[in-house]
Amino acid sequence: MSAFENLKAHFQTISNFNHLSAICGWDAASMMPAGGNEARSNAMAELSVHIHKLMTLPQLSDWFAQADQESLQGDNPAVLRELKRQWQQSNLLPEKLVQAKSLAGSKCEHAWRTQRKENDWQGFEKNWAEVVKLSQEEAQIRADATGLSPYDAMLDIYEPGTKTESLNQLFDNVKTWLPELIDQVIDKQSSESFIEPSGQFDTAQQKALGLEVMKLLKFDFNHGRLDESIHPFCGGVPSDVRITTRYDENEFVQSLMGIVHETGHARYEQGLPKTLAGLPAGEARSMGIHESQSLFFEMQVGRSDAFIKHLSAMAGSTFKGHNPELFAFDNFQKLYTRVKKDFIRVDADELTYPAHVILRYEIERDLINGDIKHTDVPELWDSKMQQYLGLSTQGNFTNGCMQDIHWTDGAFGYFPSYTLGAMYAAQFMAAMKKTVDVDAAIASGDLSPIFSWLSENIWSKGSLLTTDELVKSATGETLNAQFFQEHLRNRYL
Amino acid sequence: MSAFENLKAHFQTISNFNHLSAICGWDAASMMPAGGNEARSNAMAELSVHIHKLMTLPQLSDWFAQADQESLQGDNPAVLRELKRQWQQSNLLPEKLVQAKSLAGSKCEHAWRTQRKENDWQGFEKNWAEVVKLSQEEAQIRADATGLSPYDAMLDIYEPGTKTESLNQLFDNVKTWLPELIDQVIDKQSSESFIEPSGQFDTAQQKALGLEVMKLLKFDFNHGRLDESIHPFCGGVPSDVRITTRYDENEFVQSLMGIVHETGHARYEQGLPKTLAGLPAGEARSMGIHESQSLFFEMQVGRSDAFIKHLSAMAGSTFKGHNPELFAFDNFQKLYTRVKKDFIRVDADELTYPAHVILRYEIERDLINGDIKHTDVPELWDSKMQQYLGLSTQGNFTNGCMQDIHWTDGAFGYFPSYTLGAMYAAQFMAAMKKTVDVDAAIASGDLSPIFSWLSENIWSKGSLLTTDELVKSATGETLNAQFFQEHLRNRYL
């Protein structure tokens, strides 16, 4: 076997162990009783150690050196590039630092669950200092190895190729028009009235409705399922994608659109190239592109007039005995496009969401690059929140800088993916509309033309192209925030 | 670390991988959509190879040699004995034979699924010849290594320490009284009338009833769950036991008692000694002892008058709108103690079941020892079926020698466990009744005294004692079929 073939076989082995990790991880979140946790954690830790061993096998470095000399055809240079990327990512950090960060992160996150509720910044700050310090060390090592700046090296984990320079440009542009647009929309909506769900919405009926919507979105039930968990997610493996939601008996609106969102993630996974299954090149391109698919489903398709017509009709025939005006198209549309300046990112609407992300981006960028101290964060948070959304978080850590889990265990560099995803989604839709009558497809109830475009241009590419190449091949240009702005103006003004 | 400590740590690692295998195996049977099968099979095969590598690490043989010289106290000699037993079992066979048998077994089992339906003995026989040949080779290698006869060496996989000599004695004794007893009981029952379930029994209600019965049996829901699968089983790990059942909308009787049976397996697993978790000495003693616990729950407790009173009341209040006479105690008792000579082992009642097992035992014993040929099996099956149950299977392979999955992939030596389990259960009950008022405990609805006895005498022992030692310490003597006979006479005559 050539070195390249040896590498592929080795990564197939790793992929098999990752499969077990994905399924047992899904089980832990959606099925496992609490008493199973200790033994499961031990088993998962053992598996992580094993996967890490496979990823850092000394032999691999010879194979990569040899494979570089082998003549590779077709997709194989890209396959090798992605193999090498995953291998380098896994071998960059000294094991001691990985363990120290994992320990400090677990400790900080665990305490944060209580401290957040108690608005206890003092307590949190003590644990977090260590997480920030170790993350800065990590970023520096990654920077030294890649020639990137420390924060760019962290970005590279989640968004390969994306750099501070382009994020600054994109987000600075957004900042020039977003606050004003938000004010205009809120002003416009202030005169509108609508009905919010009240009464009881049976969870079995909510589930049936969710499954019906997943069918409309052509989720492949032969290769996946819908279950429940406290924090909704898309897990499993491409041949068996597990999405979850959380039901609230008092309303169905959030869970229903949550299912649309996770179905977007799921169809990307289900649509990845089967010929590259088990290889990094066959995996999703990046966190931002993954989010572009969930947001394409949730925001571009899911909140379109044509789709909201389906949702309102399906919900109306599911929940009998409620006020029928609740399920009127107009009312549904208002429910799903309401804009409000508020503190919490995960509850934010489409229009204010980028403000939450830009705020976090600017803070974590400066923190990781060592330009600010972790103790500066609450004040910076408050001043940016005032600037972007006109809200003060002075003394309010619970709904301020302590609201997210990401920073507690050092996942710096992740936040930009959310807004990159929203921007990619808008750009994909604009490109799709050149050849597909999207609104007609949605209205007809057969959304296949939409999914064919996504499959051909995004899903089937896996990681064969870089993100820039992928976006250019799909839309004719690299990321352009103009499409996102136009989309928001069209929908909300 | 001492060699003994090294061995324990190594087996804890193996146990962690077995944990992942158990959970993903449960998932494949109860959750996974069909399309997930190929990737899952690959992942599970990779895991098996890894576990096999860990079990056959050359280093282990040195550690075992050293550990034999170390001075071990308390439970540790038994812990070492069981470590060694699992290691020896895994290292006995050449890998080539394991692979060949696994391949031949998969091929034979796969084809059997169709061939059985088509009564195609000719087709089956061709594949089975190879399975039998390889199983005979396996038995001979095991015999050479252990000094046992070939069949005893196979028995030793499932029932360590149990030998043909004692099985012959036990089963020959059963054969002297069972056929006559069956005839007497059928004659007695022929004049009885009873009502069978008819109409629809909602599966959600069946599940609610099953959960209620599991609560009565003190299943620990913090360490386990109930789900559905085509073939009911008890899986998972001791800290998180997964039992399954299968619902039939036309009746609830079978699934309900099936849940009682699996709960017996589950409580054994949940009651294993936590201090020995992850070590072979902390696992269930044998297949026969495992079955003794499921049959203790199903036959000794579950079919007692006092328990059937609970079942009939619980079912009656679950399924409204049915004929109330269906749920009368007398009727339930008749439903659950009906005896019938029939072809299929898995559907057999308590009384005829041993006949099915003895027939299989006698045939597989002679087959593995080379005293008969695999082509002799249909004729032998027919003649023994005539002798024990008065039924002919001439030309009827579907409901004759092709009915079970066990032989298709070479699991010879397993069948006796079922009847050994029934015998152990009867003997445990007789011993328990010396100190526990079993009927009063069941009638009161608080079955704790029963479970305390089982926990103290069986569950908490894990595999610290040999089977003979365990049975003797619990009941004062080794296995004695007399208790089983008395139990059957008391219940059915």
Instruction: Give residue-wise pLDDT tens across range A202-221.
Output: 999 999 999 999 999 999 99
What is the band of A406 on the pLDDT scale with cuts at 50, 70, 90?
very high
The helix/strand/coil state of B478 is coil
Q: Long-range contacts made by residues B84-87, C-beta under 8 angstroms, separation at least 24?
A: B85/B160, B85/B280, B86/B11, B86/B55, B86/B280, B87/B55, B87/B60
What pLDDT does residue B130 have? 97
Chain B residues whose beta carbon lies within 8 Å of the beta carbon of residue A220: 35
Residue in B13, B15, B20 to test binding to A, most A beta-carbons within 10 Å: B20
User: Of A27, A33, A224, which has the smallest distance from its Cβ to B221's Cβ?
Assistant: A33
Residue B77 distance to chain A (closest CA, Å): 25
Contact (CB<8Å) B223/A36:
yes
Q: Is B14 exposed, middle or buried (0-12, 13-18, 19+ CB in 10 A)?
A: buried
Cα separation of A33 and A80, whole Å?
A: 41
Q: Are B23 and A19 an interchain contact pair (Cβ–Cβ within 8 Å)?
A: no
Greatest alpha-carbon pair distance for chain B in Å reads 71
Chain B interface disruption, residue of A21, A30, A46, A222, most B CBs within 10 A: A46
Mutate to test the interface with A, among B15, B228, B240, B275 (most CBs of A within 10 A): B240
Averaged pLDDT, A45-71: 96
- Residue ranges of B 349-408 with Cβ closer than 8 A to chain A: none
Residue A14, chain B, CB below 8 Å: the answer is: no
Query: What pLDDT is attached to residue A206?
Result: 98
Strand pairing partners for B227?
B244
CA gap A53, A48 in Å, rounded:
8
Q: Label residues A449-470 b or e (16+ Cβ within 10 Å = b).
A: bbbebbbebbbebbbbbbbeeb
* Buried/exposed A280-299: b ≥16 CB within 10 Å, e otherwise: bbbbbbbbbbbbbbbbbbbb
E strand or H helix at B237, and its extent? strand B234-237
- Read off the pLDDT band of A439 (50, 70, 90): very high
Domains of chain B as residue ranges with CATH = 3-148 (no CATH), 149-493 (1.10.1370.30)
- Which pLDDT value is given to residue A3? 98
Distance (Å, rounded) from C-alpha A381 to C-alpha A374?
Answer: 11
Give yes or no for a contact between B230 and B246, defined as CB atoms under 8 angstroms apart. Answer: yes
CA distance B235 to chain A (A): 13
Sheet holding A240-245, edge to edge: A224-228, A240-245, A234-237
CB-CB neighbors (< 8 A) of A20 in chain B? 20, 24, 43, 47
- Interface contact B47-A13, CB threshold 8 A: no
Q: How many helices (H) and strands (E) does chain B have?
A: 20, 3
Q: Where are the beta strands (DSSP E) in B75-153?
A: none
Residue B87 to chain A, least CA–CA distance (Å)? 20
> Tens digit of pLDDT for each residue in A74-101?
999 999 999 999 999 999 999 899 999 9
Tell me the CB-side half-sphere exposure of residue A39, using CA atoms within 13 A: 28
Q: Quick one: pLDDT at residue B220? A: 98
Report CB contact under 8 Å: A20, B16: no
| Residue B396 phi, psi dihedral angles, 5° rounding | -105, 85
A177 touching B, CB under 8 A? Answer: no
Q: Which among A17, A19, A222 has CB closest to B39? A: A19
CB distance from B54 to chain A under 8 Å?
Answer: no
Give the model's confidence band at A224: pLDDT under 50 very low, under 70 low, under 90 confident, else very high: very high
A172-185: burial string, b at 16+ Cβ within 10 Å, e else: eebeeebbebbeeb
Q: What is the pLDDT of residues A380-400, one digit of tens each?
A: 999 999 999 999 999 999 999
Interface test with B, best of A23, A202, A221 (most B CBs within 10 A): A23
Number of Cβ pairs closer than 8 Å across A and B?
A: 99
* Chain B CB within 8 Å of residue A207 CB: no
Q: Which helix (H) or strand (E) holds A225?
A: strand A224-228
At B245-266, the pLDDT tens digits run 999 999 999 999 999 999 999 9
B39 and A CB contact within 8 Å: yes
Residues with pLDDT less than 50, chain B: none
Distance between CA atoms of residues A210 and A216, nearest Å: 10
Q: How far is A259 from chain B (nearest CA, A)?
A: 19
**CB–CB contact B47 A17 (8 Å):** yes
Whether the CB of B275 is below 8 Å from some CB of chain A: the reply is: no
pLDDT value of position A228 = 97
Alpha carbon of A19: minimum distance to chain B alpha carbons (Å)? 7
**Inter-chain residue contact B27 with A27, CB threshold 8 Å:** yes
Contact A239 B35 (CB under 8 A): yes
Asked if A46 and B237 come within 8 Å (Cβ–Cβ), the reply is: no
Instruction: State which amino acid sits at residue A323.
Output: N
Q: What is the pLDDT of residue B181?
A: 98
Given A19, A34, A222, which is nearest B43 (Cβ)?
A: A19
Q: Report pLDDT for A284.
A: 98
Beta bridge partners of A227: A244
CB contact under 8 A, A35 and B237: no
H-run or E-run covering A485: helix A482-492
User: Which residues of A are designated catalytic?
Assistant: 262
| Average pLDDT rounded to a whole number, residues A403-407 | 96
Query: Cβ contacts (< 8 Å) between A16 and chain B: which residues?
Result: 42-43, 45-47
Q: Maximum CA pair distance of chain A?
A: 71
Question: Residues of B with catalytic annotation?
Answer: 262
Which residue in A222, A239, A242, A270 has the most chain B C-beta atoms within 10 A of its own C-beta, making it the best mutation to test that interface?
A: A239
* Chain B residues lying within 8 Å of A19, measured CB to CB: 39-40, 42-43
CB B349 within 8 A of CB B298: no
Rounded distance between C-alpha atoms, residue B424 and residue B417, angstroms: 10
A418 to each of A48, A259, A287, A338, A369, how far by Cα in Å?
27, 17, 8, 19, 21
Which residues in chain B have their CB less than 8 angstroms from residue A238's CB? 39
Of B101, B162, B87, nearest in space to B137 by CA: B101
Q: What pLDDT is recorded for position A205?
A: 97
Structure tokens, A437: 């009558």
Residue B35 to residue A277, Cβ atoms within 8 A? no
Nearest CA in chain A to B13: A46
What is the nearest CA distance from A36 to chain B, expressed in angstroms?
5
Inform me whether the C-beta atom of residue B277 falls under 8 Å from chain A C-beta atoms: yes
Mean pLDDT for the stretch of residues A331-336: 97
Q: Which token pair is A80?
A: 């090798």
Res B299: pLDDT: 98
- Alpha carbon distance A136, A150 (integer Å): 8
**Residue A50 pLDDT:** 96
Is A49 in CB contact (< 8 Å) with chain B? no
pLDDT for residue B281? 98
CA atoms within 13 A on the CB side of B142: 27
* B36 and A CB contact within 8 Å: yes
Question: Residue A268 has which token pair?
Answer: 């990307």
- Are residues A224 and B33, on separate chains, in Cβ contact within 8 Å? yes
Rounded-to-integer distance, Cα A414 and Cα B300, Å? 59
User: CB–CB of A19 and B34 under 8 A?
Assistant: no
CA distance B184 to B190: 10
Question: Pick from A17, A38, A236: which is nearest to B239 by CB?
Answer: A38
Amino acid at B275: T
Nearest-angstrom CA–CA distance, B391 and B61: 52
Spatial contact of A355 and A339, defined as CB atoms under 8 Å apart: no
Give the other-Cβ count within 10 Å of A112's Cβ. Answer: 22
**Taking CB atoms and an 8 Å cutoff, what residues of chain A touch B46?**
13, 16-17
Residue A39 near chain B (CB below 8 Å): yes
